Structure 1
Amino acid sequence: MNHLIKTVCLAASLALSSLAMAEATPCPGMGPGMQHGMRGEFAMPKGEVKKADFLKRMEARFDAIDSNKDGVLSEAERKTAHDQMRAKRGEMRKNRSASQPCMAQ
């Protein structure tokens, strides 16, 4: 009987600790504002953002994408930027899932 009680207590504590870890380790792509990633050089700061700061960051993004610096984003430049961002996100997901497996699934 003593062995049964110890086994039940151990199983319950493992189940509860798994739930606590699942809450502490959100899944990739989950949560408000993609809390895991996208905190690079163009990321918005937390809290209030003034219009001038927002526009400055958007202009920096535009300038980074405009590879020939003609002030116009061609379809090719937009596709290149899109493909680069997808590759970057994929790499971030791969690194994150390797180091912090999602336990909430």
Structure 2
Amino acid sequence: MSNNVIVIQDSDFETEVLEAEQPVLAYFWATWCGPCRLVAPSVEAVAQTYGDRVKVVKLEVDANPNAVKTCKVEGVPALRFFNNQQMIESHEGAMTKQNLIDFVQRGLEKSENS
């Protein structure tokens, strides 16, 4: 992943996600997860395309149990969209690049309407 996607840990979650000034897409993944490897390029593309409007972070589930619990992650890959300390969109499982773009668009629309 490039500089567009910020790798964070449990210790960074509150600052980087909950207290963020802009909407945040949190991507939960695991090294052993095949579908995560399929989704990762789409997450990177979204970070490049929407980087001026959305902060994109990624967390490895095995190393970050607190964030996993907070976000109620039950499977990977998992995506959570936050705005103003609230999770406003949630998805688990692989998705196409277009579905991920739609997911981010829905999150941004909800962010702008809140």
**The structure with more radius of gyration:** 1
Q: Which has the higher contact order (CA 8 A, sep 6+)?
A: 1
TM-score, structure 1 length as denominator?
0.30
